[in-house]
Structure formats: structure tokens, C-alpha cells
Structure 1
């Protein structure tokens, strides 16, 4: 049933082959790029911007979560280094970029 319908639709009454829009390939590429942009590129740029704001707004005393899952309070800040106190008297140094969440933020978003 479907094969005969598809065959009937493929033939053009025995005449010349069907004419296609010469721009259809370009239009499809533009549509595919738009889909990739709105589903992949744009959300990634948004997350990167939010992370950059988070890293720049860190201050001593903030509760933070690192990319490795360590929770603690910021005890010191340098240019690219954050010292996090994970227990009383236990301080660990991390790169600023490894901080993924601060108070009021969900690290999964």
C-alpha cells in the first residue's frame, strides 16, 4: 500500500523530473544552523557567562561548592586561587574556575 503510493508520488505523470528550488539546500543549512545555535551554542554561552559572573563575584566568607563536590567556606582569595576551608582548620586551595556554585545557586543549572 505505501510502496505503491510512494511510487505514484515519485513519478511526475511520465513527464520531466520534478523541479526543485535551487536555494533549498542553502535554506536547509540555515535552518540546521539555527537549530544548533538555539539548542546547543546559545545555552552554553549563557552558562559560561553565568559562571564567569559567579567567579568574579566570590568574596571571603561565601559558602561554595567545587567541581569535585567539595563544600566549604572561602577563607582567602588571590588572583586565580581560592582557599576554601572545608573543616575547622582544614584549608584547601582551588583554582577559581573550579568553583561551580555559591549560596542560592544550583550547580546543575
Structure 2
């Protein structure tokens, strides 16, 4: 089991629907992912977006304190405001504590 799979850990689940405004979005999203990955307590991130603009991004963190620090990061605050002003028709943020993790097949399986 890697450090990213240890429990407990926390997931920030960001559900969103985009507006048609594309200007600057990709660049900001890339920058925010780069910045998040450098933050203490960051574990991993995955993101999906459907053709209709609906998306889900899940970031994993080792503590609630790390999540709060990321929320208050100066560049992230700017991105949050631009998201509200330009890029998102709506969004929901959920924070969940992950108590356990299991896999099939096992991460140690050489065929994986």
C-alpha cells in the first residue's frame, strides 16, 4: 500500500457545471493542479468532465488542516473567484473522511 492509499485520509469532491466561457480556464486549471500537488498534505488528484460540461474533481489530503490551507492559498483564492465570476454555472464541494481502502486486484499484484 502506498502512502496515498493509507487511511484515514480526506477527499475533497468538487462537482461542477461549466459555463461556455473557456478563456483562461485550461491554464488556470493546470496551474491549480500544479500548485495543489506542491502543498503539504496533498496526496493525489483525479478529474473527469462530461461533454455537457459537468465535471468531478477529487483531491485527496492527509488532514483537514491541509485542506483548509489549500483553500486559503492566495492563487487558489484568485482561481475560486474567477470560477464564480466566469467558469462555473454552479458547483458543490464535499469533504469526506475515508476510513478504509481496499482494492481488487491487490496493488501488490504484479499483473496490475
TM-score by length of 2: 0.28
Q: Larger strand proportion, structure 1 or 2?
A: 2
Q: Larger helix proportion, structure 1 or 2?
A: 1
- Compare relative contact order (CA 8 Å, sep 6+) and give the higher one, 1 or 2: 2
Structure number, greater radius of gyration: 1
